[in-house]
Structure 1
Amino acid sequence: MATMKLDLPAPVVTGAENGYLDPTTIPADGVNVRVPAYGGQAAGQWVYARFTGQNGSSEQTAPVQVVNTTAPLDFKISKTEVLKNENRAVAFEYRVAQTQGGVYSDSEPAPIDIERGRPITQPFREDFEGFASVDSKIIQLSGCRIVADSNGEFQLSESFQQPPFITGKSIVCTSRSSRGAIFQFIFESLASTFRLGLNQDAPIMDVIEIRFEGDRIIRFQPPRINGWLEVDSAYYFYGKISQVILYTSGAKPIYIDNVSYTV
């Protein structure tokens, strides 16, 4: 049976700010999960909220029938269940069915880190406009260094433009070998989010590898390369990001620009 078509944005988690929820602020009756009025909301539908933590932690509420087609719905996830995930990434979402016992559609998740006293930090951004030149092997940014392996090298260039991903000055990553090269973003402190503008002249990207704390790894092969490479550690439930590695399989250049990340 096909899942019904609905526009289900992520729920709003009371007390969460910038993707973080301080466990010391959770009320005794639990975390409030508000389901906003969604596209296709109709009387008679059934809705419930769902919480997914780590190491088997999860909880879902009892389903509630929609009566008012324009009003949000509020659900509670128990404080006990959420506190099992302190210093970990979790997700809140909700599901909607047209009829009781019918096929449910999933909302967009709301990824949240459960952390005490988490400072709200602005992302670091680098567009390379202030650079006059770059080292061919190592580019040092604030809190991160970009490193080329023995086959790879960096150059600063304005020869290619693809707004908003590649704008003004960018870094050209090339290989001196037809076998390709490796380019690493290595974070001095673990990163929560990472975004990079990428473009390639020819389909030479072999693998994009994301390394998380605890030596957990995700690889995209073959990756989509032209546009934003975006990684949010809360989405993958693997902890924070330690490295982002680009593997190429040929001598054609790739362009990188507009780097941003938060720690």
Structure 2
Amino acid sequence: MGIRKLWRDSIAAFRAGRTGGEALREFQDEREIQRLGAQWGKAKTPAEREVAGLEAVKYVIYGAKGESRGPHLAEEELQWSDNPGAREAYLIKRWNNPYFGPSRRAVSTEELSEARKTDRDKFLVAQNSLSGLAKEIGELPSPMTVGDLHKARQSLDELIQFAVSVGGAAKEVAVKADQIRDAVVLAIREAFSGDTEKLEKIERADAYHKDHVRKFHLPIVAGIIGIERIIPDDELVPALVSEDPATISILLDLLPEDDRVVMQAAAMKLILRVLEEGYIDPQLDEKLAVLARE
């Protein structure tokens, strides 16, 4: 189903929908509905359709007076870490989150404790790996061979990806490992200072690495494709729509076109379903705008 059709279907879906077991209140201004429909029909560009669609969906959700048609979910108290690791961060994402299934919205103290323990254990692995690598590199014979340098760079690349996936305090390990990596790459450049072709390859590889690491610093990216994968396949869409609009946009840009269209449609359907159940996302309009783009 295309994005355009989802916009149109959203109007009919919410008019016939139910909230908390009660029929949605009847629209007080039928002329406004007619105006919005005409505005949609006259839209000539994707941008105009987007504006018309957002206005229509907002009207259906909030009504003529701009009042919410559904209650927000109640919250419970849980003590979260100031700098949570990847597993605890995912519990925070799931907790009381209507985009996830009912059984996944609850977080027990035992589950939280286990997540923190695993995050801590993984952090120690990353920290110890950094110490070990730094020692190995420091003990390499001088002058170091190109083979030694490439091996060190590869080990550092793997550690950086692992540490970013672990999240929390381990991200600082990734930063330190990246600093050591810069020194190693500088030494490789010096070793090939007279070979223009190889220097160009080194520069391209280094640029790719830095761009790859930058993307991995987004928790959802690390959670989906990182070494320490946290997000299950069946929760990719709930995890996506739980992000802020800017992050949703970045992640969509990383996907191949066909996959992006599928993800946009699935995310739109989930948002509409949750709206029908009565939850109003504080960033609803912005998220719909990102998901509706072509």
Which bracket does the TM-score occupy, shorter chain normalised? under 0.3
Which is bigger in relative contact order (C-alpha 8 A, separation at least 6)? 2
- In terms of Rg, which structure is larger? 2
Higher helix share: 2
Higher strand share: 1
Task: Tell me the TM-score normalized by structure 2.
Answer: 0.25
